[in-house]
Amino acid sequence: MANMKKSEVLKIIGQNIKRIRLEKGFTQVDLVGKIEARIDTTNISRIEKGRTNATIHTLYKISQALEVPLSEICDVYFSERV
């Protein structure tokens, strides 16, 4: 729960996205194709890798493409117990 470092938060969120994406059988290119607003595999990759501190609207667009609630992507509590 408590006080994760920035890098750790970003890494967990990236892992969430990647996990959900793979569960749904999407490639990064698939995602880009599904997102109405513009986004790039470059950016998706950086977010999945936890290298970028994405804005909430970018994460929202990704959640739309993944067909899950934004809050699912932002769930940092389960991963934390690993």
Residue 75 CB contacts under 8 Å (≥ 6 apart), including other chains: 16
Nearest to its own copies of 6, 81 (CB atom): 6
Least distance CB 55 / DNA (angstroms): 4
Residue 23 engages DNA in binding (rule: CB under 7 A):
no
Least distance CB 71 / its own copies (angstroms): 4
Query: According to CB under 7 A, which residues from 53 to 72 bind DNA?
Result: 53-55, 57-58
At residue 78, the 3 state secondary structure works out as coil
Token code pair at residue 10: 């970003």
- CB atoms < 10 A from the CB of 8, how many? 14
Nearest to its own copies of 23, 75 (CB atom): 75
Token code pair at residue 69: 């609630």
Residue 27 engages DNA in binding (rule: CB under 7 A):
yes
